[in-house]
Structure 1
Amino acid sequence: MDLSELRQEYAGQPLDVDSVDPNPFQQFTAWFDQASTAELLEPNAMVLATVDANGRPSQRTVLLKYFDESGFVFFTNYGSRKAQQIAANAHVSLLFQWLPLHRQVEVEGVATKVSSAESLKYFLKRPRESQLGAWVSRQSEVVSHRQLLEAKLQEMKARFGKGEIPLPSFWGGYRIAPTRLEFWQGGPGRLHDRIEFRSDGRGGWDRNRLAP
């Protein structure tokens, strides 16, 4: 299949070193708010890239649950493939794609587990079905058929009844503390705007324009 003629011309608002917020978290907040206002599907969806102990990469989409200047937080099963890879190499990257706005944001950083208290605080906010789902799924393990999952769900419903569902010991959050962020704005003729922020190691950020 030849896709060479499949192309989209970009014409977004220009982005420059002097026009971005000097604080990359404030710049991310502004763009995230605009993606949310534009009613894009799952604006908090992000591709998480990890590598295993042998340097083999893998990617998957996860949902950002909250962020601040300490990092970007998502939640998962601690027995999953992504968690195993993070345990072997905590350096990860995130990619937010807001293509209808001709934008994407790349984040590179180091992943660490959040505290059990922080995981519990978020877990209690989840819908009950999602809480049960955390108990049902041993994420990334082989399952012979879906009926096993459905049977496990019924087992968990019977186990917890109408009472409070506790936080599973194998489930919780990760915080990605950024060392680099890149804001990409599509431009005409493939002359895209790319503004990179790199940690200066002293709590500040160096920012530069990159060639498209």
Structure 2
Amino acid sequence: MLKKLTLMAFSAALLAGCASSGSSDMNAADEVVATTVTVSDVGDYMDQQEAEFRQQLKGTGVTIIRTKNYLVIVMPSSITFASDKYNVVPEFYPALDTAAALLRKYSATNIDVNGYTDSTGSDAHNLKLSQQRANSVAGYLIQQGVSPQRIMPVGYGEADPVATNSTKEGRAENRRVEIKIAPPKPASEQMAKN
């Protein structure tokens, strides 16, 4: 049964790829592999993605965190944005270009782009700035070819600090954008919904 569902998902992905007229850096085989994931393959899929992110983003200042079910790419604001600004600094484009290429390659995942600030400034200002930063990163990823249907940008302001806000170093850690990558739904689960 699982083999039949996987074969059906493979066929659907192959036909969808044939109908597409857009260009992509990914070849058709990668695209099919990325969109056809069985229950037993989800862990392997996330493991492969994590390994590539770690290898290709090494030395960029980005931190990769693996939780049980998610992969989180943490981008500190000190390397991503100017102080109290939301436009991505050009020096960070290469790291985001690499992330976008990997997100295109592993196209079965869903992506939350979460913005955070420290506790200085008003709640309203922090919430707005964090949303603008999340939107800025999400917009850049979309410009680089990541499907907008996969991306959900959200600003959380000063919520969910990862360090104390009572020190300069702690506040710097709290100012960040996180790309949270959710594992793909297995082909059998996707087919059951249709």
Give your verdict on TM over 0.5: no
TM range (shorter): 0.3 to 0.5
> TM-score w.r.t. structure 1 length?
0.31
> TM-score w.r.t. structure 2 length?
0.32
Question: Over alpha carbons, which structure has the higher Rg?
Answer: 1
